[in-house]
Amino acid sequence: MRPGLSPILAAAVLVLALLPEPAPAQTPGTTSGLPVPRFVSLRSDRVHVRVGPAVDHDIRWTFARTGWPVEIVAESDNWRRIRDAEGAEGWVHHALLSSRRTALIAPSSKEKFFPVFEAADSKSRVSAELQPGVLATVRNCRGGWCRISGERFDGYIEQTRLWGVYPDETVE
């Protein structure tokens, strides 16, 4: 026994040491155990966004594009409170969401075009120029760059130019 430990405390430490490893903890406040907030995309081309987390709540608006990125900001049972790139929020059933990562090219920017490079380096050749709001599939992100692809483009863009990934987030 260590000096200074009471016999009761020593017994408690021994019991705790013999207990099995605890199961991985869920993220506090979530039903899925996944981190909140997090980015996901829409699984369907018709997704009703509701005022509250149940089908008896009014529909606030309807998304009409598969793959559109949204941010989950809260969870309640099988419902997810989402936020879109414009900051609008509402509730969607989890079955209508996908973990597939997509992003919008600088949706609120006033710039006309954003370069997509052949490599994760602004000195590499420009392979495409994309307008704000273009939807892209996120292949991976690391070191401040994301490899994205879409209709007629594939390459690297600075991570800060995307809505659908967090700054400095690594996406595999």
Amino acid, single-letter form, for residue 129: E
Mean of all residue pLDDT scores within the chain: 88
Residue 155 vs residues 65, 99, 138: alpha-carbon distances, Å: 23, 21, 10
| DSSP letter string, 53-84 | SSTTSPEEEEE--TT-EEEEEEEETTEEEEE-
Rg (CA), the chain: 22
Please give the CATH topology (third level) of the domain spanning 104-163: SH3 type barrels. (2.30.30)
Query: Looking at residue 30, what is its pLDDT?
Result: 75
Query: Looking at residue 52, what is its pLDDT?
Result: 97
Query: Looking at residue 70, what is its pLDDT?
Result: 98
Q: Please provide residue 96's backbone torsions phi and psi, each rounded to the nearest 5 degrees.
A: -90, 5
pLDDT digits (tens, 9 = 90+) for 97-138: 999 999 999 999 999 999 999 999 999 999 999 999 999 999
Please determine whether the domains at 38-100 and 104-163 fall in the same fold group of CATH. yes
Superfamily of chain region 38-100: SH3 Domains (2.30.30.40)
* 98: exposed, middle or buried (Cβ count in 10 Å: 0-12, 13-18, 19+): middle
pLDDT digits (tens, 9 = 90+) for 71-107: 999 999 999 999 999 999 999 999 999 999 999 999 9
Domain positions in the chain: 38-100, 104-163
Q: Is the pTM of this model over 0.85?
A: no
Q: Worst-scoring range by mean pLDDT, 7-16, 109-118, 150-159?
A: 7-16
